[in-house]
Amino acid sequence: MDRKEIRIAGFGGQGIVLSGSIVGKAASIYDKRFASLTQSYGPESRGGSCRAEVVIDDVPIEYPYVVNPQAQIILSQEAYNEYGKNATPDTLVIIDSDLVKVDPDQNPKPLSIPASYMARELGRAVVANIIVLGFLAAISNIVSYEALKDSILDSIPRGTEDFNMKAFELGYNYGVEHGSKV
């Protein structure tokens, strides 16, 4: 496997940085690869733009910034307008269909999951990011299913393991049913 670049973008309060950390930890600790994480967020802690970028490789990473992402997880309209709308045709774009309206002329169309809705149905909107990571595991080989699962369990508050695993599995199963492995 060669260098993989992943961008996760949305707004503060959605667990963007946590998601990037989980992906990086999954790749480095559990899949035994190298990973770097960079993050950026606006001056507001909640509601401002937020981005986490993860670079994964089989060799030590010399340049830790995303240049040509293979995958983008877009969780806000602002992030879609900045990153997702103009993604290259070979970039896997995943959107939260509850929060992002795509350009009807975009080709190829992004893959979508109603993660915010699914999280509210579970009873806690804060797990939408975990649902999306389950979806990512189902439709891509960027990091392994088991590594993501282990990384989530290692990254979340104690006492929330069962709930977060339910959210992860919900996203994974949605991806198996509605996505296509790339």
For domain 4-178, the question of CATH label 3.40.920.10 is answered with yes
Bridging pattern class, strands 71-74 and 4-11: parallel
Number of residues that make up the chain: 182
Query: Given this model, what pLDDT does residue 138 score?
Result: 97
Contact (CB, 8 A) for 153 and 135: no
Confidence of residue 181 (pLDDT cuts 50, 70, 90): low
Q: What is the pLDDT of residues 4-20, one digit of tens each?
A: 999 999 999 899 999 99
Burial of 123 by CB count in 10 Å (0-12 exposed, 13-18 middle, 19+ buried)? Answer: exposed
Q: What is the pLDDT of residues 56-80, one digit of tens each?
A: 999 999 999 999 999 999 999 999 9
Query: How far is residue 144's CA from residue 158's CA, in Å, rounded to a whole number?
Result: 23
